[in-house]
Amino acid sequence: MSELVTTKKKPTVIESLLDDFEEKLKKRSDNFIKCANCKHVLTHEDTAISVGGTHRHVKTNPFGLTFEFRCYSEALGCAISGPDESAHSWFPGCVWQYLHCEACNQHLGWFFHGSESFYGMRSDAICIE
């Protein structure tokens, strides 16, 4: 009787990509960033990024209003409005536009783009669930 010899087959590119994706999903946080007003999902906690050395910023505009906001690389649940504004940008080389919840239109913060692109969401306008 002959023995069946099996050899380990080298995974295909797609199989390797799927394995990598599954590993990332296992490590991924379960928390979503939501609009504090209507609980619409804006992005995922894993999209949090550091801009200028920190994720959280506190900045004051020319009218004396101070905002605390957090930076994210993606925000698929948001809408961007208004023209590109270069005046009073808190980030050199970036222009900004208003950022709103696409479900309830609540002002969430700003979309910055130029030397880099990111979403600055006001801490008081979002919740993590």
Q: Which domain holds residue 91?
A: 13-128
1 within a domain of the structure (yes/no) = no
Nearest CA to 98 out of 78, 114, 115, 117 is that of 78
Q: Which residue has the tokens 């808190």?
A: 90
Q: Give 61-86 pLDDT, tens digit per residue.
A: 999 999 999 999 999 999 999 999 99
Q: Give 35-71 pLDDT, tens digit per residue.
A: 999 999 999 999 999 999 999 999 999 999 999 999 9
108 within a domain of the structure (yes/no) = yes
Q: Report the number of distinct structural domains present in the chain.
A: 1
Q: What is the CATH number of the domain that holds 37?
A: 2.170.150.20
2 within a domain of the structure (yes/no) = no
Neighbours of 78 (CB within 10 A): 23
6 within a domain of the structure (yes/no) = no
Rounded Cα distance, 87 and 89, in Å: 6
- CA distance from start to end of the chain: 60
- The pTM for the full model equals 0.77
66 within a domain of the structure (yes/no) = yes
81 within a domain of the structure (yes/no) = yes
Evaluate if residue 1 carries a pLDDT over 70. no
